[in-house]
Structure formats: structure tokens, C-alpha cells
Amino acid sequence: MSEVRLDGKTAIVTGAGNGLGRSHAHLLASLGANVVVNDLGCSVDGSGNSTSAAETVVAEIKEAGGNAVANTDSITDRAAVPNIIKTALDTFGGLHILVNNAGILRDKSLKKMTDAEWDAVIDTHLTGSYNVTKAAWPILREQNYGRIVITASGSGMFGNFGQTNYGAAKAGLIGFAKALAAEGAKNNVKTNILCPAAASRMTENLMPGQMLDKIKPEAVSPIVAYMCTEEISTSGAIFEAGAGNFSHANWARGKIYKTPNESGVATVDEIAAHFDEIIDMSDATVLDNPAAAMGAFMS
Ligand code: NAI
């Protein structure tokens, strides 16, 4: 049996009917957590719905000896989201962990993207994570205990062709999570960020078959489970995980060029003359909070 345990804790995992969410739900349950398996049962592009995805995973968890309950509300339906939280409270009597994982894709280059494709992706990832977190927040704050995982993506950190909607939503989630980390600090509510890579129905057309065989969702879930433990020391940290690799990613800043002008206002010619210096990242500094980021400019 694992030494790290989640006995007595109740977790909501959104989008837990497939892929990464299913794997996270299984692992959390195997560590002793009660799990609300939330899933709308939609297709990769967000269309349709079915109760079977969530119900199947609940049956699998119960079969393995764990505790789970299904919830099939959409994280984009603000009127229905409180029911996801209510399912945890009514079934298991509490809520301690929220893994925001549900997501969809509507990939198109900006030239071809419709407003509906933009809206659906922003609504699901960014606003959907906001909706569920906002509903869970008072409970976590008031009990002075909460662990939140926000699922971002390398697409939000670096940008992928055809994913302006998805990249914007995922980058937005990083800012959301880092602000939440600051807001939850006083009440022991820790929020960390996952940038995963795994084979799922979402990525099956984006990666070569051979690669998909090697990157199982199960290889990502251990760090998600660790983010949900009492002992996790970080909040607001970005973790990359895939194919058994785990790393901490962060923002970095290159050398600072400071104008010698008394007024503090550089000329455009000065920027042109010093541009190589400004873009030089060879001596970069890791930045992990707003005070450190702005402090160097203000000193
Ligand atoms: P998946 O398509 O296998 O699973 C996503 C699940 O979310 C589906 O079961 C779907 O029914 C559910 N869902 C979608 N909209 C929902 C809504 N409104 N309410 C409730 N449930 C909803 O996808 P996968 O790959 O497991 O992705 C999980 C998360 O990880 C997503 O946020 C995705 O953007 C992110 N991610 C995945 C990567 C990968 O390599 N698979 C890479 C980077 C990020």
C-alpha cells in the first residue's frame, strides 16, 4: 500500500469519464479518497452528452474497492455547477480536493475559426474551471483546507498552431491559478497547475501512434495525486508531466537593459541599438511571484 494516502478526503474530478481525468479518479480512489466522477459525456469537440462515461468509471472504481459517485452536470452550466459540489457533500459529507480537468478541442487557425469555436473552448476550459472553483471555494476557505489542481497545457505556455482559443484559455488558467494560490494562502488552500502530455481521444490525431502507446494517462496521475495531498509544499507552481517525466516549469527573465536617460524614457533608436541585449536569455532569472518580478524594475 502506498505511504501517501488520501483517506477521509473527498475529491471532485471534472471530465473524469475519459483519458486523464479517469486515470486521476482511479488513482485518488485507490489512495483512499472518495471521488465525485464528473463528466458530461460529450465528444472531443464538446457536442452531445451521455451519462455512461461517468457511470462506467464509477463502476470501475467500485469494482476495485474504492468509493465514487457519478455526476453528469456540465461545468459550463452555471446553474447546474452547484449540484457537482452538492453531490460531494450529500454523498460523502465534505469536499477537500478539486481537480479541474474537463476539456474540449475546437482546433482551427484564427483565419478559419468561428466565434462559436472560440467561445466553446474559452467557456469550457477557462470559465468552466472558474465556475467549479468558485462554487467550491467558500467550503475550502472556511474549513481552512483545500487542494486544487488546474489543468493547463504547453499550448498555453508556448502556443500551438491552430489553437489560439485553447492556448488563450490555458494561459488564462495559469494566471487564474497563480492568483488563487495567493488568495488561498491564508486559509491553507493550495492550487497547483498541471501541463500534461498523454495519449487520449483528445490527442490521438495529434501524435503518431507509436508515441501514443508510450504515453499513458496513468503516467501523469501520480503528480496530480501528490498535488492533492496534505504534504504538498507548493502553491501556484506549474508541473509538466508525461511518459514518466516530471518537472517544475516557471517564467524566466533575461538581463535587464536600463536606459541611462535621466527621464527613464528610452528612445526607439536606443531600443533598436540594445535589442540583442534585451532578448538575451543566457543569464535568465526564474521569477515566481509578482513582487520579485516588479521589484527589479522598481529598485
Ligand atoms: P478527453 O477528451 O479524453 O477527456 C476530457 C473529458 O472531459 C471527456 O470525458 C469529456 O466528456 C469531459 N468534458 C468535456 N466538457 C465537459 C463539460 N463541459 N463538463 C463536464 N465534462 C466535460 O481529454 P484528455 O486528453 O483526458 O484531457 C484532459 C485535460 O487535460 C483537458 O483539460 C485537456 O485540455 C488537458 N490536456 C491534455 C493533454 C494531453 O496530452 N492529453 C495535453 C495538455 C492538456
pLDDT at position 299: 67
- Taking a C-beta distance cutoff of 8 angstroms, is the pair 71, 87 a contact? yes
pLDDT at position 213: 79
Q: Which of 24, 36, 39, 126 to mutate to test the pocket of ligand 1 (most atoms within 8 A of CB)?
A: 39
Q: What is the pLDDT of residues 84-97, one digit of tens each?
A: 999 999 999 999 99
Q: Is the CB of 15 under 6 A from ligand 1?
A: yes
Q: What is the pLDDT of residues 288-297, one digit of tens each?
A: 887 877 777 7
pLDDT at position 210: 79
**200 Cα–ligand 1 center, Å:** 9
- pLDDT < 50: residue spans in the chain: none
Instruction: Single out the catalytic residue among 130, 145, 166, 257.
Output: 166
The residue behind cell 457537482 is 84
**35 plus 63 within the same structural domain:** yes
**266 plus 152 within the same structural domain:** no
**275 plus 154 within the same structural domain:** no
Q: Is the CB of 14 under 6 A from ligand 1?
A: yes
Structural domain includes residue 1: no
CATH number of the domain where residue 280 is located: 1.10.287
| DSSP secondary structure string for all residues of 213-231 | HH--GGGTHHHHHHHTSTT
**DSSP class of 96:** -
Write out the H or E segment, with its range, that includes residue 156.
helix 154-158
CATH number of the domain where residue 19 is located: 3.40.50.720
Whether the predicted model's global pTM rises above the 0.85 cut: yes
**184 plus 291 within the same structural domain:** no
Q: Domain count for the chain, please give it.
A: 2
Question: Is residue 166 among the annotated active site residues?
Answer: yes
